Structure 1
Amino acid sequence: MELVFLGTGAGLPSKNRNVSAVAINMTQEINEVWLFDCGEATQHQILHTNLKPRKITKIFITHLHGDHIYGLPGLLSSRAFQSGENQPLSIYGPVGIKEFVETTLRISQTNLTYPIRIKEITKDGKLFDTKDMTVETKKLQHGIDSYGYRIKEKDKPGELLVDKLKQIGISPGPIYQQIKENEITKLENGTIVYRDDVVGSPKKGKIISILGDTRFSLEHIPFIKFSDILIHESTFTQEKELLAFEYNHSTNVQAAKLAKEANVKKLYLTHISSRYQAVDGETIIEEAREVFPNTWLANDFSVYKI
């Protein structure tokens, strides 16, 4: 899996940062891309990456401020012309996202060539569960309804113990994949092979928590606790803490405090105010690292392995 930051700015685009959008590229694992927020010109940003719009199967909107949704109609429309025909798409977001999408498509007379499903979020808890992933939501503290998303990858079977398989007379071949994918495999000679006997320890699934626009709150700790990755807004630097509170946002240091208290492994700061220039990046990251050393400042087109 990869994190691909498409837009890391707050409020309005700047020369260095477009507005909010981040993708989780899971094409190698489940042949899907999940997009979180879709600010203005997100489809333009995608053109500078290896992401394919037709691979985007789910779009998660944190809240309905323009810098998080204005790119959605354009992306939905373009996807129909980019080999997205008949590729279903699900959109999740606060109440109002359905009206926004349907109204913009209707007024622009846009006819999508693929089925679209829109689910509005009204409460905390499990959003959905698949064989590969579980996604949960939590309402945050912002001027309008804003939600965080916690993506939990299911644990995977360990690696096949090849030497052990060879010892019991099973040579390499397609049978290895069959053994790994099934709890019990019956060989042609009648031998029964139990997967648990020939695989190593399970691989722990990754946890990624993405918090949309929000004030700093210790109430968020249980939701993000033990995340491998936390993506948190960092609209302001520490000296602007009062301003951050007034505008329902967080500072870099507040995000770092939350990461530390929640025992997350790695923190990515995003949603940076346009008042900060590229030269301010060092200050933003250094302030946060004094509290939580494993902090990274996301930039547009940054790609990180998960």
Structure 2
Amino acid sequence: MQITFLGTSSGVPTRSRNVSSVALRLPQKADLWLFDCGEGTQHQILRSELKTSQLSRIFITHLHGDHIFGLMGLLASCGLAGNVDRVDIYGPSGLNEYLQAASRYSHTHFSYPIKVHTVQPGVIYEDDDFVVSCGLLHHRITAFGYRVEEKDRSGRFDVETAKALKIPSGPIYGQLKRGETVTLEDGRIINGSELCGPTEIGRKFVYCTDTVYCDGAVKLAEDADVLIHEATFAHQDAEMAFQRLHSTSTMAAQTAYLAGVHQLIMTHFSPRYTPGNAIELKDLLKEARAIFPKTIMANDFMVYDIPRRRENKLKIKGKN
């Protein structure tokens, strides 16, 4: 699971930061999932190593322009390129109507299927490898955060130990690889999990923007390997954050701390903190790290590989 930041500014683009969009690349599925699609996102993709031919799912947090104005352009370009088979789009009520109106008035006709899913809190997608859920955030309009959970996988099966135990090969090996308990013809009971290496714990990715601090974000981010959270304002501008229902750097850090996440990546920064101003982005980072040390700041085109955690297990050789 690899994250690429395509836009890290709030509201408007700057010379160095585009508006909101984050890509999640899933190499094991050769899939690309997009979270938000601000204006210019397709240009950012062209400047990255991402491939639109792998785009299969887009998750929209809310319907403010800096999160959706790039959606029609990207979808239209994918159609003209003819390299996309199907795109599923998830987002709040009104998203389908927005796309239909934009398509109608721009006379855009897609050459591939597009399915819009109106989301509600809870599980919104599941396959053999992943579960995606969403939860309500607290913003001026309906906004959702998204959580992607990779399912746990059994560790590598120890074939040599299985042979040493004189376990007959064949379908039994498949059962043991899946961690099942098998009774052999000689009466021995073999626990498959004891013949496998450390379980590969599924990684957890959470994306929360736009929102002021809220319990919903904490719940959604619980035990996440990576939490991407907006930090539009510095702590000094907390009153403005509450008025506009955006987060400060300290709110993002508090969310990460209470949720027990392993890494916080802040994004969605106000242009008011550019170098030379009284408060700069480095000050926001310092504020956040005072609460949650494992905090970094996103930049456009920053790539982050989500590390995998492992569950240690004792290997037992079974009974005679």
Shift of 1:80: 1.5
Q: Which amino acid aligns with 2:69?
A: Y
Q: Is this contact kept in 2: 1:84–1:114, CA < 8 A? A: no
Q: Could you tell me how far apart the structure 2 residues matched to 1:95 and 1:218 are? A: 22
Q: Distance in 2 between matches of 1:281 and 1:161?
A: 50
In the alignment, is residue 131 of structure 1 matched against residue 128 of structure 2?
A: yes
Number of residue pairs matched by the alignment: 294
Counterpart amino acid of residue 105 in structure 2: I
Please report how far the alpha carbon of residue 178 of structure 1 lies from its aligned counterpart in structure 2 after TM superposition: 11
Equivalent residue of 2:153, what SS?
coil
* Aligned: 1:254 with 2:230: no
Helix, strand or coil at the partner of 2:291:
coil
1:220 and 2:217 matched: yes
Residues 156-184 of structure 1: per-residue CA shift (max 9 Å, x gap): 111232542564689xxxxx999857969
Q: Is the 8 A contact 2:149 2:203 kept in 1?
A: yes
Q: Does 1:267 align with 2:248?
A: no
Return 5+ residue gaps in structure 1 as ranges: 171-175, 186-192
Rounded to whole Å, the distance in 1 between the matches of 2:86 and 2:216 is 35
When the two chains are superposed, the root-mean-square deviation of aligned CA atoms in Å is: 2.5
In 1: Cα distance, 2:69 partner to 2:222 partner: 31
Q: Aligned partners of 2:156 and 2:275: how far apart in 1?
A: 44
Larger radius of gyration: 2
* Separation in 1, partners of 2:249, 2:224: 18
CA distance in 2, matches of 1:248, 1:99: 25
* Superposed displacement of residue 213, structure 1: 0.4
Q: Distance in 2 between matches of 1:59 and 1:36?
A: 6
The answer on 1:9 being equivalent to 2:9 is: yes
Give the match's secondary structure for 2:273. coil
Are the equivalent residues in 2 in contact too, given 1:64–1:94 (CA < 8 A)?
yes
Match in the other structure for 2:241: 244
Identity %: 40
Equivalences for 1:33-44 in 2 at 5 Å?
A: 33-44=32-43
Letter matched to residue 62 of structure 1: T
Task: Answer yes or no: is the 8 Å Cα contact 2:6–2:21 preserved in 1.
Answer: yes
Q: TM-score, normalised by structure 1?
A: 0.89
The TM-score normalised by the length of structure 2 is 0.85
Partner of 1:93: 91
Q: Which amino acid aligns with 1:55?
A: Q
Is 2:148 the partner of 1:144? Answer: no
Task: State the alpha-carbon separation in 1 of the partners of residues 137 and 199 from structure 2.
Answer: 33
Distance 1:181 1:45, change over 3 A: farther
For residues 237-274 of structure 1, the C-alpha deviation after alignment (integer angstroms, 9 at most, x for no partner) is: 11000000001100001110111111111101000011
Question: Aligned partners of 1:140, 1:247: CA distance in 2, in Å?
Answer: 13
Map 1:1-306 to 2 at 5 A. 1-26=1-26, 28-85=27-84, 87-121=85-119, 123-164=120-161, 167=164, 180=177, 196=193, 198-278=195-275, 280-306=280-306
Cα deviations by residue, 1:60-88 (Å, 9 ceiling, x for unpaired)? 00000000000000100111233424x11
Give how far 1:224 is off. 1.4
Contact 1:94 1:120 in 2 (8 A): yes
* Aligned-partner Cα distance in 1 for 2:222–2:101: 38
Distance 1:32 1:234 in 2: 28
For residue 312 of structure 2, what is the aligned residue in structure 1?
none
CA contact (8 A) 1:16 1:278 kept: no
How far apart, in 2, do the equivalents of 1:24 and 1:38 lie?
13
Structure 2, unmatched stretches of 5+, are 168-172, 183-189, 307-320
Over 3 Å counting, the alpha-carbon distance change for 1:168 and 1:111 in structure 2 is: farther
Structure 2 Cα separation of the partners of residues 79 and 243 of structure 1: 39
* Separation of aligned partners in 1, 2:250 and 2:13: 23
Is 1:91–1:119's contact at 8 Å kept on the other side of the alignment? yes
Q: 1:154 to 1:246 in 2, by over 3 A?
A: same
